[in-house]
Amino acid sequence: MKNSNNKVWQPDSIIYHLGDEPSCAFLIISGTVEFYSENNVLLGSASQTEVFGEISCYLNKKHSVTAKAKTHLAAKLIPKAEFSKIIKNAHPVIMGMLRSTYHRLADSNTQREYSQEEIEKYTLMYKNSIENKKEIKDKIDNIKQKLDTNMGQ
């Protein structure tokens, strides 16, 4: 790729971290990118012909996720100034769609992270109950053994 606005990442490469200032949006030419929360929960992915990083550019906010190449990834970088021009020329309906999509995405990311935390909490409770079950069974067996021993005397 000779175009200086094109960039390539190897699998597992970080494109940007949560909290980074946006410098551009990304139009995927090939490959797949995944998005992770602050707690490393997989929130979603994007692939060929999709754009990512645009919400942070549009809202001029720090990135709310970490973007990581899942596969070999090639993307066209759309500098913030160019992206702003594109947005200024967009139809108001498109702008409304973009805003509502952002809000739904933010809500979805929050719900996904909460669900992941709940799964981890209940998984831990389940594992602890299995461990406690064996410990309780051993204690009961020990008490039965003592009772049997005392009954035999």
Provide the residue ranges of all domains of the chain, joining segments of one domain with +. 6-90
- Provide the whole-model pTM: 0.72
Report whether CATH 2.60.120.10 matches the domain 6-90: yes
| Exposure letters 69-92 (e unless 16+ CB within 10 A, then b) | bbeebbbbbbebeebeeeeeeeee
Predicted confidence (pLDDT) per residue in 107-134, tens digit:
888 888 888 888 888 888 887 777 777 7
pLDDT band at 24 (very low <50, low <70, confident <90, very high): very high
